[in-house]
Amino acid sequence: MVKRGDCDRNGTGPLPRLSPAIPPPEQEEPFRVTAHGDSLGGMRVAGVIDANSHDAWERALRQATGPGAGIHLDLAEVEFIDSRGVAVLVQVASGLPDGYRIVVRHPPRCLRRIMQALWPQGVPAIVIEGAVP
């Protein structure tokens, strides 16, 4: 006999047994920044730059550029950067003193596309290596 409270919502039979919660597999951090040796200072970035990492991305750029410094960014391991992530890069670069640059190496294709769409004339403080004029 089925007791009250032991039925599914339709009242037609017993509730199915639920399996214990299975934790999701551990994933790599979606965004990582490491310093790398370079004559002008450098930063290697990996993962995804999106709404989940905008704050960390901006902090890393501001710390790396410091007061009046330029930097080389290696983005070879960046899988994706959204338009806000590119806007943060532009904002930080635009705040550098005249003559200082952010050199971007190995940018993902999406960064190039966003730069072409939103800053078609380029940004003087950003040099994208290997960019097609």
Domain ranges within the chain, ordered by starting residue: 31-128
Which CATH code for domain 31-128? 3.30.750.24
Residue 100 to residue 16: CA distance in whole angstroms = 65
Strand order in the sheet with 42-49: 31-35, 42-49, 71-81, 102-105, 126-128
User: How many Å separate Cα 51 from the centre of its chain?
Assistant: 8
pLDDT at 65: 80
pTM of the entire predicted model:
0.72
pLDDT at 26: 47
- Dihedral, 103, 107, 110, 113 alpha carbons, nearest 10: 50
Per-residue pLDDT of the chain (133 residues; tens, 9 = 90+): 444 444 444 555 554 454 455 544 444 457 888 876 654 568 899 999 999 999 999 999 988 887 666 789 999 999 999 999 999 999 999 999 888 999 999 999 999 999 999 999 999 999 998 655 4
Strands (E), the chain: 31-35, 42-49, 71-81, 102-105, 126-128
Question: Which residues, 6 or more positions from 106, have their beta carbon under 8 angstroms from its beta carbon?
Answer: 74, 75, 76, 129, 130
User: How many Å separate Cα 116 from the centre of its chain?
Assistant: 19
The packing angle between helices 83-94 and 54-65, to 10°, is: 20
